[in-house]
């Protein structure tokens, strides 16, 4: 058995070199709330752990010049919640990130880790997809950008190339009348894994929905961008007919599994119900902006 | 391979210890550091019995590598009382019987203290959501929630 090595580089370049030289034995450590559980259970046996929390870019929250945000991939949920502006601009994305685990988990867990863990039920992912977040990746081949919806490849897998690190998320500027929301269905009130999760981001002008994105989680091998649901909402006054069409589009997009948390039939129905409720919250918030 | 040397601050005291790279902070606390007040319940971040603060932020010590403590400030249950004088939360937990077997208690106290530092007047709902990551199989939570709220009332009065 090979010994485990722990490295905590101060720069991204060093982290990429360390990860590249570790090959398949390398693991990134951000909050560790998934990695340490996986190590404990024996599901992963890393040879090298690269702790990225000493890299300034990966723990920073910045407002970009155009009015958007750049969030380091390792920023914990609790830190994001304390930012004076982020939760006002992106309340739905913040509530999704803050639903990951307990207060203790929030002290460490990051949206970057939630995405790279590759769970179809990760709470932050549908909200990131709805937000139109762009992931910045860096690896031995340089830096590139990828839409968040293109990152997951299947349960536990991503489309990151070997040696690539998720560095940050970029969120676009928000036009007036924009907001977002995230709802998940769980049988309890806290500390559970989504049976269905829906993220909605929209813009309303003079009572008409002018832009919308819908992210749907826990109903397919990866989190889905449901463009048909967004099309049903855009151009409407979010009336019953539009909501019904968008809900039907969400249910139609579902390719879930039966498991102990929910059946295929249940998940498919709930996806539509949650879409309507999530739109209502996002629309109400957008009205105040 | 040689063990890793870690310098950290625990309950305000500079501390040094040796650990394996794979050791959790809980392993280090309960092993070389001899601070056994933090308990291991689930070892997967679900139960909160190992709760500590890391730079004043509530975390599960089972979900943190010991080596990550380097240069940081930790608070454990051992630092909660001042000598023989219990912290108001500890005193209230005793008075109101907010514990039975005690395994969850140090985590409950650390988590409740973190809440009251952030929010001196939490609602019952806020207390219950905050403590959702601390499991108790004995009390049914009600006595714990009431003890936290009553402590908050008394600490606010004392501060006036």
Tokens of A288: 């105040």
What residue ranges in chain B does DSSP mark as E strands? 4-10, 13-19, 51-54, 57-60, 73-75
Segment B89-115, tens digit of pLDDT: 999 999 999 999 999 999 999 999 999
Would you say A177 and A140 are in contact if contact means Cβ atoms under 8 Å apart? no
- How close does chain A come to B160, measured CA to CA in Å? 27
What are the phi and psi torsion angles at B20 (to 5°)? -80, 155
What are the phi and psi torsion angles at A168 (to 5°)? -160, 170
- Check whether A167 has a pLDDT greater than 70: yes
Taking CB atoms and an 8 Å cutoff, what residues of chain B touch A36?
A: 24, 45, 62-65
Segment A67-91, tens digit of pLDDT: 999 999 999 999 999 999 999 999 9
Per-residue pLDDT, A22: 94
DSSP type of residue A4: P
Segment B133-144, tens digit of pLDDT: 999 999 999 999
C-alpha to C-alpha distances, B88 to A126, A130, B57, B104, B147, nearest whole angstrom = 42, 45, 20, 18, 10
Taking CA–CA distances from B19, the nearest residue in chain A reads A6
Taking CA–CA distances from A82, the nearest residue in chain B reads B118
What mean pLDDT value characterizes chain A? 96
Segment A80-137, tens digit of pLDDT: 999 999 999 999 999 999 999 999 999 999 999 999 999 999 999 999 999 999 999 9
Segment A169-183, tens digit of pLDDT: 999 999 999 999 999
CB contact under 8 Å between B114 and A39, yes or no, is no
- How close does chain B come to A6, measured CA to CA in Å? 6
- Check whether A1 has a pLDDT greater than 50: no
Q: Testing the interface with A: which of B63, B74, B125 to mutate, by most A Cβ within 10 A?
A: B63
Percent of chain A with pLDDT over 90: 95
SS3 content of chain A, % helix, strand, coil (to 5): 35, 25, 35
Between positions 31 and 70 of B, the ones with CB within 8 A of A are 43-46, 48, 51, 54, 57-60, 62-65, 67-68, 70
- Check whether A2 has a pLDDT greater than 70: no
Q: By the CB < 8 Å criterion, does B130 face chain A?
A: yes
Q: Testing the interface with B: which of A10, A103, A114 to mutate, by most B Cβ within 10 A?
A: A103
Tokens of B115: 């809440």
Q: By the CB < 8 Å criterion, does A234 face chain B?
A: no
Average pLDDT over residues A264-282: 97
- Check whether B60 has a pLDDT greater than 60: yes
């Amino acid at each position: 058995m090979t010994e485990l090595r722990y490295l905590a580089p101060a720069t991204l370049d060093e982290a990429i070199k360390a990860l590249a030289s570790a090959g398949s034995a390398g693991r990134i450590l951000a909050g560790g709330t998934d990695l340490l559980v996986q190590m404990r259970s024996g599901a992963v046996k890393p040879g090298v752990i690269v702790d990225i929390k000493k890299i300034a870019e990966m723990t920073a929250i910045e407002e970009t010049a155009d009015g958007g945000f750049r969030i380091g991939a390792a920023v914990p949920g609790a830190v994001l919640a304390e930012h004076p502006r982020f939760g006002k601009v992106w309340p739905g994305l913040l509530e999704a990130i803050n639903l990951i685990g307990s207060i203790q988990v929030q002290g460490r867990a990051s949206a970057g880790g939630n995405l790279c863990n590759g769970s179809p039920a990760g709470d932050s992912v549908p909200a990131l997809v709805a937000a139109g977040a762009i992931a910045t990746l860096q690896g031995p081949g340089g830096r590139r950008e990828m839409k968040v919806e293109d990152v997951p490849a299947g349960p536990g897998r991503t489309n990151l190339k070997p040696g690539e690190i998720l560095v940050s998320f970029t969120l676009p500027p928000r036009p007036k009348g924009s907001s977002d929301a995230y709802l998940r269905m769980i049988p309890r009130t806290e500390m559970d894994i989504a049976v269905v999760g829906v993220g909605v981001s929209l813009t309303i002008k003079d009572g008409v929905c002018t832009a919308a994105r819908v992210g749907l989680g826990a109903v397919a091998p990866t989190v889905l961008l449901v463009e048909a649901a967004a099309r049903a909402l855009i151009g409407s006054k979010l009336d019953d007919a539009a909501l019904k069409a968008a809900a039907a589009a969400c249910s139609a997009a579902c390719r879930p599994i039966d498991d102990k948390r929910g059946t295929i039939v249940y998940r498919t129905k709930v996806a539509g119900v949650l879409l309507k409720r999530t739109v209502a919250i996002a629309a109400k918030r957008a009205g105040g902006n | 391979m040689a063990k890793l040397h870690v310098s950290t601050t625990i309950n305000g005291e500079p501390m040094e210890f040796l650990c394996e790279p794979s050791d959790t902070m809980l392993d280090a606390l309960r092993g070389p550091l001899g601070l056994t007040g933090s308990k291991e319940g689930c070892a997967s971040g679900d139960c909160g019995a190992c709760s500590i603060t890391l730079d004043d932020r509530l975390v599960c010590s089972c979900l943190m590598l010991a080596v990550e403590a380097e240069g940081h400030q930790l608070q454990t249950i051992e630092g909660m009382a001042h000598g023989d004088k219990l912290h108001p939360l500890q005193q209230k937990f005793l008075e109101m019987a907010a514990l039975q077997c005690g395994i969850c208690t140090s985590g409950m106290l650390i988590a409740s203290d973190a809440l009251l530092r952030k929010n001196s007047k939490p609602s019952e709902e806020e207390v219950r959501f905050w403590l959702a990551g601390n499991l108790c199989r004995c009390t049914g939570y009600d006595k714990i929630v009431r003890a936290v709220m009553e402590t908050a009332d008394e600490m606010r009065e004392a501060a006036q």
